Structure formats: C-alpha cells, structure tokens
A and B are shown apart, each in its own frame.
Chain A
Amino acid sequence: MTNPKGRFGVHGGQYIPETLMNAVIELEEAYDHYKNDPQFNQELTTLFNEYAGRPSRLYYAKKMTKDLGGARIYLKREDLNHTGAHKINNVLGQALLAKKMGKTRLIAETGAGQHGVATATAAALMGMECVVFMGEEDTIRQALNVYRMRLLGAEVIPVKTGTATLKDAVSEAMREWTSRISDTHYCLGSVMGPHPFPTIVRDFQAVISREIREQILEKEGRLPDAVIACVGGGSNAIGSFYHFIEDKDVRLIGCEAAGRGIDTAETAATIATGRPGIFHGMKSYFCQNKDGQIAPVYSISAGLDYPGIGPEHAHLYDIGRAEYVPVTDSEAVDAFEYLARTEGIIPAIESAHAVAHAIKLAPTMDKNQIIVVTISGRGDKDCAAIARYRGEDLYE
C-alpha cells in the first residue's frame, strides 16, 4: 500500500528528498488552515478582483462560430488577467499563503516566462524577494519576459543543465529550495510536483471553472458540451475542468503539445507518448525511454514543453473522465493566426493548442451545442517566435 496522501488514483504522492519533507508538511498545514480562513479568502478575492481584474470574461466568439459552422464557441479570457495569463491566479494565492507563513522570499521555475512574470509581480506587490529559474533555451525564446521579470525586481537565473528548458528549471528550483528553506517558499507554477502542490494550485486555479459555470448558465441557461484547454503541467486545464468534473455530460478535453508530431521524438505529448513514472515529486505519466531516463521533449511552446503531466490529469485520463489530444506546432500556429484574424484576439501559443482543437471539433457538433475554450494567456510574447517560424527575420 503506497501512502494515500495527496493521491489522485495511483498518481501524485510526495517523492522528494527528505530535506524538503518538513517544508511540504509545513506548507500543507498552513494551507489546510488558511483555505478555510474567511479573512484569507477575503484578501485573496480582493486581490483577484481589484488587482488581477477578475472575473475574466466569457466571450461569445460569434465570427469563429459562424465560420466553423458548428457548435457555439465561447472563449474564457484568462489572457485579460493582469500579467496576461491564468498564472496570476495561482501566484496570488501562493504568495499570500507564503506571506502568512512568514516567508520573505519566493522562488519559481518558468517555461514561457508567464509564471515567472506572475511570481515577480506578486513578489513586487507583497514586498518579497524573488528568484526565477528559467531554462537558458527559454530565456532566448522568451527574451521579453526575462526583461519583464527583471523590471519587476526579480533575479532570473538561466538554467544550462539538461535540455535547458522547463523541466530543468523545475529541477534547479527544487535544488535551490533544498539549500534555503526557512525563509523561502517555492511558488510552483503548475498542478504538479509533490503533494500538496497539485491540490493547492488546482484550488487557486479552480476560479476559472467556477466563473465559466456561472457565466455560461447566465448566458445560455445550461452547461457547455465541451471544455477545452491546453495542457503542459496542466494548471489552466484543471482550473477549467474542476467544477465540471461531476457533470458527466460535459466533455473535458486537454490539448497536449505534439511538437512535430507524436510519431517523432520532437514532441511533448505526455499522455500520447509517455508511460507511468516517478519524477519531480509525483507519480504520473512521463515521456521517458525504456530505462526511465526522462525524454528531452520539444514543443514550439515553451510553456507546454514539459515531459510530464499533473497527477490529477493522469487520474482523469485513467478513469476516462477527461480526454487528452495531441496538437502539433503547425496546427497551433495556424490557430494562433486564425484567432487573430477571426476574432481580433492574439492567444498565447500555448492556448492556441486549445483553439486548434476547437477548430477541428466545432464543425462536427450541432449548432445548439456549446464549446468553451480557455484562452490561458495572450500571445504578445510569442509574436517574434511565430514570425520566425513563418520565415520572417523578426527579433525583439
């Protein structure tokens, strides 16, 4: 019998060095206390509404719906949040919690830089020190976000080990945490890592589906037929799914980054190409070779370029409650451009993976059916990279 704590089916757990055990236990105790504390929740709601600009809009994409000729498409506009992505929801929650715990320093990993920017923002707001670990490869792909983090007062440490991408940034942030625990909170950016992170991050991101539910009931008087979100670690997806998990008629669809295709080595589609493993503190699905060496994954999207998936997603997949579909670079770039032209909304390349699947799915559905697509972030940060993908010699 494995430890039942922090499990989603067989997934999850706390596979971390002994050095960190008391830190995660302290975090769990603090979270269990504050999650039911009216004052904490009041403060967090105020931050969400007054600072981050919540609730985010649920926008009816009329032109897109008409163009695709099928289901009615709504876009959950997490891109309109302060700092431009859903990441701020989790970060405000964790930073407030860390502050209550007496921590004075936040460390974080980042892929695309959105979580790093959000953490740097919260640190500036709350007067905390901030250090962000970012794969060196990603500091080049997302140079503008590196500048934003520095502007916000954070130190950005380029990680050169391994593939110099998100997984290496997570490893380095974990290493840093083992060396300095007493004043430091590791503000993990996705629904991954050891318990209690997958639960804490999910709870803070669950505001997305709570709002979708209220908004769609108000606009349509019924629940959607499908909710679609992109999945790397899976925080915006679990946030979008959470309050619909019990509603079995709502299809939950996570879009993984297939990179150059799931039949190539240059992919980050964990459910499509991975198998069960234990890494970064959790049991879940991971892209790995036969010896359990973690695969050097690839996606055009730095935010989805991760070899694993959060344990709750792994469980939702196992029990058949959620579906996970691979979306290639090429499909995501097409969707990025499509949404810009059709609705005047430039989505993050991560979110464009979800848009791409909606483009495929909507025409197969009836006109009275409803799809909600979470636009997890905005695409300004990606414009130069997409231009280069299309062969334009554009540098920031």
Chain B
Amino acid sequence: MSKTGKAFENGKAFIPFITCGDPDLETTAAAVRAAAENGADLIELGIPFSDPTAEGPVIQMANMRALNGGVTTDQIFCFVREIRREITIPMVFMTYANVVFSYGAERFIAACREIGIDGLILPDLPFEEKEEFLPLCRKYGVDLISLIAPTSENRIAMIAKEAEGFLYIVSSLGVTGVRREIKTDLSSIIKVVREHSDIPCAIGFGISTPEQAKKMADLSDGVIVGSAIVRLLEQYGKEAPKYIGPYVQSMKTAL
C-alpha cells in the first residue's frame, strides 16, 4: 500500500489542510504538531500560489498572507525536512501545477521524496494532463492524488481505475470554502468509484462542523477540511495552533 493510503487504516481519516507560511513557518510547524497530536491522519500542506483558481476567498487570503510574508518553495522544503523528524503520519503537498513545473518537475518531485512528502494534490491537473508529472511521481514514489467532482459523471470510472493513494472527492461545485449544506449526491459518486476501485475516498470542500464531518465520513473513508482551519489562522495568527488542536480533536472524535 502507498504511504498516503495508510492514513485510512485508523478508522475514518481526518485530513486537515494548512497553508505553509501563513502567517509564518514557525506557526505552520506548531499547527502541524497540534493537528498530528490531536488525531489528524494525514496532513495536506499547501504551497501558496499567487493565483489559486480553485480556492475561495478564505484560502486565497491565506495564500496572499504567506506570499506577502516572503515564503519560498525552498524554505517550505527545509521546513518539511525539519518537521518530518517528529511527524510520522503521511503528509502531502497541495499546490498548483505551475509551482511544480516552474521549479523543475523532476527537481521538485525528487525533493518531495527526499524530505518525506508522500503525495501531491494539484487541482489544476486533471486526468487528461496527469502524464505531465505522473512518470516522475512513480519514479520517486510520490502519490499523484486524483480528484473527482460533482460534474465528473461519465469520467468517474476512468479516474477511479487509475487513481493512486486516495481519491479526493470534491463535495460541491465551485471553489473551496465553508458551506452550510452539501447537496451533491455523493453516495452515488462513491458507489461508482467502488465498482471500479477499492481506493480510499476522502471528501473535501465545504466541510467545517463535526456534524457535517460525521455525515460525510459515513459516506466515505475520510474528510478533508481546509477553510475552517485556515479561518482559525486568519483569526488568531500565531496563536492559532492552540485552537487548531481542540478543533482537530473535535472533528476526529465526530468521525
């Protein structure tokens, strides 16, 4: 089993998302520790991008705060290398294709392996374009995580069959951000996935409360929470990690 798949061995997985360098890498390190100590099964680390087209306002602002703070890809690699000494759960990068491409795909993906990153989520790299990075991800043993959206319909089987690590099921149309209600028929989507693959499915986009998390986890193998955590960073800045710990615990317990 791939390293990211291991996140699903401890019951339903809770996957928090944290933007690296928001507001600085010391805070990110403390937030990662708080999440890991309180039951996170996998951590999605965002490498900020200037123009994150799949993100809603909350994560867009986090990207801006991080970039305005001067964080660079190399600094993030150093930070991960350091924190990897104490964090044993899988960690993946979430960023945009240009961050990888521009750094030099091979140099970037080789670095992922070297510093202990287990997977890569690139929301602007659909199935049709995955060959851009997949051969390198295979070479260095980094899972290239596939996404399925509410509009995927006839594409679900094709994506599920070739998916690696886990499948990221996008709960709703639109961009990332907290939603009051998730209306997509996710159980039908996951049913189609199950017909073609036994890969774990994690649902993300719009989940913020323990009740929503429970509901989503009942349909799948885990939940991904981004904006709700990023909002704590927005609100409390350097103090946010002490709020992130209890929040992660409440979410993991609910699953």
Contacts of A3 in B (CB 8 A): 128-129, 131
Assess the B175–A22 pair: CB atoms within 8 A: no
Query: Which A-chain residue is minimally distant from B95 (CB atoms)?
Result: A292
Most chain B beta carbons < 10 A, residue from A21, A174, A179, A180: A21
Assess the B152–A278 pair: CB atoms within 8 A: no
Assess the A293–B151 pair: CB atoms within 8 A: no
A277 to B103 alpha-carbon distance, docked (Å): 10
A22 to B152 alpha-carbon distance, docked (Å): 7
Assess the A278–B124 pair: CB atoms within 8 A: yes
Q: List B151-179 residues whose CB lies under 8 Å from chain A.
A: 151-155, 159, 170, 173-175
Contacts of B188 in A (CB 8 A): none
Contacts of B79 in A (CB 8 A): none
Partner of B98, one of A2, A175, A180, A279: A279
Most chain A beta carbons < 10 A, residue from B100, B125, B147: B125
| Interface status of A330 (Cβ within 8 A of chain B) | no
Contacts of B174 in A (CB 8 A): 19, 175, 178-180
Known: A2-B132, A178-B173, A278-B124. A292 touches B152 (CB 8 A): no
Contacts of B147 in A (CB 8 A): 17-18
| Interface status of B9 (Cβ within 8 A of chain A) | no
Nearest Cβ distance between residue B120 and chain A, in whole angstroms? Answer: 14
Nearest Cβ distance between residue B117 and chain A, in whole angstroms? Answer: 17
A17 to B57 alpha-carbon distance, docked (Å): 17
A162 to B49 alpha-carbon distance, docked (Å): 11
A168 to B99 alpha-carbon distance, docked (Å): 18
A294 to B63 alpha-carbon distance, docked (Å): 13
Assess the B170–A19 pair: CB atoms within 8 A: yes
Assess the B126–A278 pair: CB atoms within 8 A: no
Q: List B46-67 residues whose CB lies under 8 Å from chain A.
A: 49-51, 53-54, 56-57, 60, 67
| Interface status of B150 (Cβ within 8 A of chain A) | yes
Interface size on A, residues (CB 8 A): 41
Contacts of B98 in A (CB 8 A): 277-279, 286, 288, 292, 294
Chain A facing B: main interface SS: mixed
Most chain A beta carbons < 10 A, residue from B72, B103, B175: B175
| Interface status of B232 (Cβ within 8 A of chain A) | no
Partner of B102, one of A19, A20, A175, A291: A291
Contacts of B154 in A (CB 8 A): 22
Contacts of B236 in A (CB 8 A): none
Partner of A178, one of B54, B100, B125, B132: B54
A174 to B51 alpha-carbon distance, docked (Å): 11
Assess the A161–B152 pair: CB atoms within 8 A: no
Assess the B128–A5 pair: CB atoms within 8 A: yes
Query: Which A-chain residue is minimally distant from B135 (CB atoms)?
Result: A1
Nearest Cβ distance between residue A218 and chain B, in whole angstroms? Answer: 44
Contacts of B125 in A (CB 8 A): 15
Assess the A168–B51 pair: CB atoms within 8 A: yes
Q: List B111-128 residues whose CB lies under 8 Å from chain A.
A: 123-128
Known: A19-B173, A161-B60, A167-B51. A2 touches B131 (CB 8 A): yes
Assess the A14–B99 pair: CB atoms within 8 A: no
Partner of A15, one of B67, B124, B150, B175: B124
| Interface status of B97 (Cβ within 8 A of chain A) | yes
A20 to B56 alpha-carbon distance, docked (Å): 16
Most chain A beta carbons < 10 A, residue from B98, B103, B148, B175: B98
Residues of B bordering A, CB below 8 Å: 49-51, 53-54, 56-57, 60, 67, 72-73, 96-103, 123-129, 131-132, 147-155, 159, 170, 173-175
A to B CB contacts below 8 Å, 24 in the list: A2-B131, A5-B128, A17-B53, A18-B126, A18-B147, A18-B152, A18-B155, A19-B173, A20-B151, A21-B128, A22-B151, A22-B153, A161-B57, A162-B50, A175-B174, A178-B54, A178-B175, A179-B175, A280-B51, A291-B72, A292-B49, A292-B98, A293-B49, A294-B98
